[in-house]
Structure 1
Amino acid sequence: MGPAGWLAVYTLIALSSASVVWFFQVRRSMLMRMRAVVGILEDVFRPRDKTYTLLGYLVGFRAVYRLDWPWAGRAWILYTMPPSHVFLYLPVVVLQRRRDRLEVTLRLASPLPGEAHVYDPGDRWARRLVARDTAESRGRLRERELELAGKRYRALYSGEEALSKAERLAQELLARGVDVRRVTLDDGRRALHVSLAPSLDTLREALETVKRSARLLAGS
């Protein structure tokens, strides 16, 4: 084997060793973060019954909570993390600026004043899901550009009252330093949906804000 062949072998061994070390170190960090997120979720929502489903090896989970709140009886949670523990995938995570994502949907006990979607148009995930969720109602929805906390958002809405309530919740979250990707009021499903890139420093306050907003929307 020539020098180039030995160099390739040594490079492969070095990359393999680095990948193994990176995997176990980052895996532990991701597990700790996931546990912290679950702890905050359960502390705020205090579900009387809960079901978790892992999405994949250290990439997140789905959860369904049955709640004792008079204004909301159920919550659906989706938490995903980019696969940062895969060393060779790391450049993709960095280049695409992928971050953790937390989606919270609450089914409310009272009707909502209409339909409204306030979302970050630069977030491909939020943009795609809003397009999917408004496929049937898009013809009757108005569209508006918003500037909230110096950031550009887009709104699709059926009426001013629904837009006002969704915009107010987005503003409250942004004022608390929360990276908001989407706020939706869905009158057809009586649902409040919030999507954000969670930070452990602000997550509890963000969830408390969503909880308070749900209570106000339900008139409790």
Structure 2
Amino acid sequence: MELTSGLLLAIMVIAALTSIQFYKGRKLNLQLMEFYLKKIEEIVKPEDKDYVWLGGYIGFRANYKINRDNVRRFEYTLTLLPRHSLLYFPIALLTSRHDKLYIVVRPFAQIKREAHLIQKGYYRLKPKIENEPLLQREEVEIAGKKYEALFEKRRDLDKLKSLLESLPKSHNVKHVALTPKTNVFYVLMKPEPETIEESVRKIVEFTNREIKESPFSS
């Protein structure tokens, strides 16, 4: 196949753009990882920590030993859009849609009942909820967004709603849950630099105040 001057020029332009996007995207993702790590650590103040690099520039997993107040462990996984890949980035915007922060808080108190708030239409494949047939189901609206509520007791649902309403951008929370089988408080959210500090602080405060003293654990 003979390369025309136009085709050759197009290949050179794409190569140049790919290279520029790689360095710019890699720098931004590394800056985001460093920023989120620093802000979260400032809030939870771990006594011990462990990290797992997820490969490339897409994020990491952190495991913090806290052993303070009602928080035994604080774990999170940060996954970022592949901003360094010119070709894959548009696809990721369609499939992943945004950066994701998966938070798992392991309290000392025992969570006795299950409750979920799941933003309507977020999951393409609905997550498996083991006790779903036994849970009450209701649709609620929080700050203009509709959520599917699954719960055993309404007071648990009210507590989760209050948490979301207290966050700077409640619509960034896609799924929040209390699961007694694994005894974890789980939050899936879209992280943003301007709100990450307040959001994580509210999550920790909720664990210390509501899970420890509320009907969640009694």
TM-score normalised by length of structure 1 = 0.89
Structure 2 counterpart of 1:215: 208
Question: What residue identity is the alignment partner of 1:139?
Answer: P
Structure 2 counterpart of 1:185: 178
Structure 1 counterpart of 2:12: 13
* Cα drift, residue 139 of structure 1: 1.5
CA distance in 2, matches of 1:75, 1:141: 27
Give the alignment of 1:1-220 within 5 angstroms: 5-96=4-95, 98-124=97-123, 128=126, 131-132=127-128, 134=129, 136-173=130-167, 176-178=168-170, 179-216=172-209, 217-219=211-213
* Cα drift, residue 90 of structure 1: 2.6
CA distance in 2, matches of 1:192, 1:94: 28
SS of the counterpart of 2:88? helix
Segment of structure 1 superposing worse, 104-113 or 21-30: 104-113
Structure 1 unpaired stretches of 5+? none
* Cα drift, residue 76 of structure 1: 1.3
CA contact under 8 A between 1:104 and 1:194: conserved in structure 2? yes
CA distance in 1, matches of 2:45, 2:154: 33
Number of aligned residue pairs: 212
Tell me how large the CA RMSD over aligned residues is. Answer: 1.9
Segment of structure 1 superposing worse, 60-69 or 176-185: 176-185
CA distance in 1, matches of 2:108, 2:81: 34
CA distance in 2, matches of 1:169, 1:72: 17
Q: Aligned residues: percent identity?
A: 26
CA contact under 8 A between 2:81 and 2:89: conserved in structure 1? no
* Cα drift, residue 189 of structure 1: 2.1
Question: What residue identity is the alignment partner of 1:163?
Answer: L
* Cα drift, residue 68 of structure 1: 2.7
Aligned in 2, Cα 1:108/1:181: closer, same or farther, shift over 3 Å? same
Question: What residue identity is the alignment partner of 2:22?
Answer: F
CA contact under 8 A between 1:113 and 1:161: conserved in structure 2? no
CA contact under 8 A between 1:169 and 1:183: conserved in structure 2? no
CA contact under 8 A between 1:113 and 1:162: conserved in structure 2? no
CA distance in 2, matches of 1:85, 1:123: 25
SS of the counterpart of 2:87? helix
Segment of structure 1 superposing worse, 9-18 or 186-195: 186-195
Segment of structure 1 superposing worse, 29-38 or 183-192: 183-192
TM-score normalised by length of structure 2 = 0.90
Question: What residue identity is the alignment partner of 1:142?
Answer: Q
CA distance in 2, matches of 1:163, 1:219: 16
Question: What residue identity is the alignment partner of 2:178?
Answer: L
* Cα drift, residue 160 of structure 1: 1.3
Question: What residue identity is the alignment partner of 1:65?
Answer: Y
